[in-house]
Structure 1
Amino acid sequence: MPKDSAGHLIPGRVSPRLSVPSGIPRPEYVGKPNPAKNTQGDLYTPDEVALIREAGRIAAQAIELVGRHAVPGVTTDELDRIGHEFLVAHVAYPSTLGYRGYPKSLCSSINEVICHGIPDDTVLEEGDIVNIDITAFKNGYHGDSNQTFVVGEAKQEVVDLVERTREALNRGIKAVAPGRQVNVIGRAIEAYAKRFGYGVVRDFTGHGVGRSFHSGLIIPHYDSAPLYDDVMEPGMVFTIEPMLTLGGIAWDMWDDDWTVTTRDKSLTAQFEHTLVVTERGAEVLTLP
């Protein structure tokens, strides 16, 4: 994703996908056009949660490592290599690699890219922000997380957007409790984001995760009541991953069928955790 004369991102050159050692188990969808449908629901035993936590820890550690390398002059392709090598060194498969044909081991979404940016020869510049989304697959389970990093020094409104998006995720997590409908999560996020006039992206949501990369359970980040009325139960696992913008929430998708940008080219940030519903609230499973 190089930039045009107006400073907006355009598609860059995507290098060949990286290889994964044959001894690392693949998710069932690798080599197929679509994943198998989830038929086992979103509830997990404590032993299964422990395995998701292990995968989530690896993903979180990979994101931290990649984030330390997100500095001016580095390409997103190089960040992909760093994340990929960390995952395979920990005997984990990069869940995005080969998912519905996705060609890379992480998503790198810069500035106006809402989500699903494909690493390429774009060079990070001072003042950019970049979201790094990594999911690790290990022992048959996925752990999914992302963080937005500021590249060098950025304008205060950009720094504020990033930190407030992180806080929006925290607000969503605090809303989790057994017996509540999942739509309370988005209500908490949108109420916070609207205090600052931010756009809250609606069409890309949190999701059930664990045995499947995306189980079919939808976790909206806006006040969607009375829709999305699934009731949270102890043992339920899903992601919360709000995407906030400095402008509108209308979006466009590039011809690669992955990269999603704000239509008005406003900056956007995102943070994500995988969590499990507990008797008292939520436990985050994607901590380093």
Structure 2
Amino acid sequence: MKNKSVPEIWDAIKRGDWRKPTSGIAPGFAQTNVVILPKEDAFDFLLFCIRNEQPCPIIDVTDPGQTAPPQAGPQADIRYHVPKYRIYRYGELEKEVESIEDIYKDDMVTFLIGCSFTFEEALMQVGIPVRHIEEGRNVPMYITNIETSPAGIFSGPMVVSMRPMTPKQAEEAARITAGFRKAHGAPVHIGDPTKIGIEDIQKVDFGDAPVIKEGEIPVFWACGVTPQMALKKAKPELVITHSPGHMFITSITEEEIRNAHLD
């Protein structure tokens, strides 16, 4: 899958040939979190993203009923090209599905939000390990005690993703990822997880438990699962998101994200 083109990956996802997390596939192209909700809730959610750019950097927004993201995937179809979706009704997770064809409505607006998977190739190119890719696992994610700025009906805690590395590697990773503002930017915290409300680093809220080697420290980035916490608290009638780690792969290049050409 790693050597396939983005349209080939979309086709594989639609056929059901890829239902796993997307970290490490389509190197060189940006990946995004997905939030799809009715038009009546879209303005409040847009304002929430603007006020919380680090966990919710907007890559693209569709018109109501538009299934092809105009910047991020003009030949894609958001109803089929995510490996796994989550359906929330009134804030409660109802189910996970592999297609939203029967759930998607013509008044729905799709938000594509930057993802830290986008900068992982840049880290690996300079020898910084990305442990969950090495282990063939999903990235570990945690709910923190860092509160987002509320907007309309939306508020809630920030979610973070974590990658273990040495202190020297963490310093270099912070420098590199600061250039990926549309993919969460620099880390929000390095070191002691209890300072951001994570009491046990092995007890993840999403993804897989980490493998942390001797001499390594946890490095935390803001995560695009953050909106799922706000959506759960707001309890709108219907919201569709990606399943954590199962991203929409865009036709936007990593270099475009790095240079923030989408401003």
Q: Structure 2-normalised TM-score?
A: 0.31
Q: Structure 1-normalised TM-score?
A: 0.29
Question: Larger % of strand: which?
Answer: 2
Q: Relative contact order: is structure 1 or structure 2 higher (C-alpha 8 Å, sep ≥ 6)? A: 2
